[in-house]
Amino acid sequence: MAEPATTRASDSLAQQPEGATGVLVLADGSVVWGRGFGATGSAVGEVCFNTAMTGYQEVMTDPSYAAQVVCFTFPHIGNVGANGEDVESHDTPGAVGCVVREWPTPPSNFRSEGDFPAWLAAQGKIGLAGVDTRALTRRIRLSGAPNAVIAHDPKGKFDVPAMVARAKAWSGLEGLDLAKDVTRAGSEVWQGGVWRLGEGYGSAAASGKPHVVAIDYGAKDNIFRNLVKAGAQVTVVPAETSLDDVLALNPAGVFLSNGPGDPAATGEYAVPVIQGLLSRDVPLFGICLGHQLLGIAAGATTTKMNQGHRGANHPVLRKADGVVEITSMNHGFAVDSASLPAGVEETHVSLFDGSNCGIAVKGKRAFGVQYHPEASPGPQDSFYLFEKFVGMLG
């Protein structure tokens, strides 16, 4: 079998290297050749990079990565295989594909139930190996996250000009509401607690616990498990659930989930609901997209970032006491700190670039963070946020 082709060209229509069965074609005509694995076919999306060394299954099944191609900076993606427990969402789309440096090796982990390429194929996601991921990451850092088409054909048949045209024609994430595409179809009472080695997922015994209504804009399942662990019972509702329908569930508090796309676009229907909850002083807790939507509802604006933050090693300063939390992040938009009105306090900031990572609405029981405390980096630096929210519910 031919070695993965690592040739990378800046001009469109670059000559295809021998053995190349996969390709990433950027909207500017750049062509990145490699060796395809996983699903066959093609998909369009925004290319981003993730610096985490573990958790590739969680990344690929996180609905926040909808319409994105993930370039992993850690070279040995797939080395621990795949299993049915490390999936963040079974029913909604996540990333459309991934780009890796090394061909996934046979798995070596006692929890593995299969290899990564086969799992990726079953998920309908495309992989591209043998790529200089460092060069691709540097390109994104310098020039921003590009639109691109990723493709895999075992016979190596690719129409590169058509892929360039498709990448150019794609709208990109700005102005795109993806929450409606990844949210669940109906309401459900959440079942299941956090995972423990040798035990699997626990139960969600909810008798007598405060009731949280979680609005699903593209949520990771582990968020709901952590709300249960913190002492809540949880009902999950679709993204476009009306204010009246949320209130009809008699929530002690409302959780605003993570999700993909442009918060300003999702905010067209989400922000009026959140503002209605704020006016009634319903306790609110937002994560990632939910945090951004809370910010918009409170009078701030959001901006598209050049490269975004994606990884499990992002230091965040908690301004109240100077504590630094090691956090997991996945976002390409951010609340603009300069736009925060007088009634909103900035509670957390990124130590990488100073961008906003947390807010609290003054005079209300409402707060949000840009990062993902349920992802357990640190590993428990940020679990207090779930306890803080549940503690507000009375």
Residues 19 and 146 in one domain: yes
Could you tell me the residue range of the domain that residue 187 belongs to? 179-391
Does any domain span residue 135? yes
Of 7-11, 65-69, 164-168, 197-201, which range is least confident? Answer: 7-11
Q: How far is residue 104's CA from residue 78's CA, in Å, rounded to a whole number?
A: 5
pLDDT tier, 1 (very low <50, low <70, confident <90, very high otherwise): very low
pLDDT tier, 7 (very low <50, low <70, confident <90, very high otherwise): very low
Pair 267, 226: CB distance under 8 Å? no
Helix axes 384-391, 221-229, angle to 10 degrees: 60
Residue type, 80: V
Q: Alpha-carbon Rg of the chain, whole angstroms?
A: 21
Check whether 278 has a pLDDT greater than 60: yes
Check whether 113 has a pLDDT greater than 60: yes
- Measured in whole angstroms, the distance separating CA 337 from the mean position of its chain's CA atoms is 21
Per-position b or e across 7-25, b if 16+ CB within 10 A of its CB: bbeeeeebebbeebbbbbb
CA angle 352, 143, 258 (to 5 degrees): 55
Q: Final residue of a domain: which of 169, 196, 225?
A: 169
What CATH number is associated with residue 88?
3.50.30.20
Does any domain span residue 109? yes
Per-position b or e across 192-226, b if 16+ CB within 10 A of its CB: bbbeeeeeeeeebebeebbbbbbbbbbbbbbbbbb
Residues 375 and 251 in one domain: yes
Phi, psi (5° rounding) for residue 122?
-65, -25
Does any domain span residue 2? no
Residues 219 and 137 in one domain: no
Does any domain span residue 3? no
Residues 156 and 186 in one domain: no
Structure tokens at 384: 């207090």
Does any domain span residue 174? no
| pTM, entire model | 0.94
Q: Is 374 a catalytic residue?
A: yes
Q: Which residue has the higher pLDDT, 89 or 197?
A: 89
Residues 153 and 197 in one domain: no
Residues 340 and 243 in one domain: yes
Residues 148 and 270 in one domain: no
* Overall number of domains in the chain: 2
Residues 138 and 210 in one domain: no
Residues 194 and 128 in one domain: no
Does any domain span residue 191? yes
Pair 44, 147: CB distance under 8 Å? yes
What CATH number is associated with residue 202?
3.40.50.880
Does any domain span residue 242? yes
Residues 193 and 127 in one domain: no
Count of alpha carbons within 13 angstroms of residue 83, beta-carbon side: 13
* pLDDT (tens digit per residue) in 32-44: 999 999 999 999 9
Q: Final residue of a domain: which of 142, 169, 196?
A: 169
Q: Final residue of a domain: which of 169, 199, 233?
A: 169
Residue from 71, 288, 291, 325 carrying the catalytic annotation = 288
Residue 200: predicted pLDDT:
76
Residues 29 and 106 in one domain: yes
Does any domain span residue 1? no
Check whether 11 has a pLDDT greater than 70: no
Residue 205: predicted pLDDT:
67
Residues 140 and 101 in one domain: yes
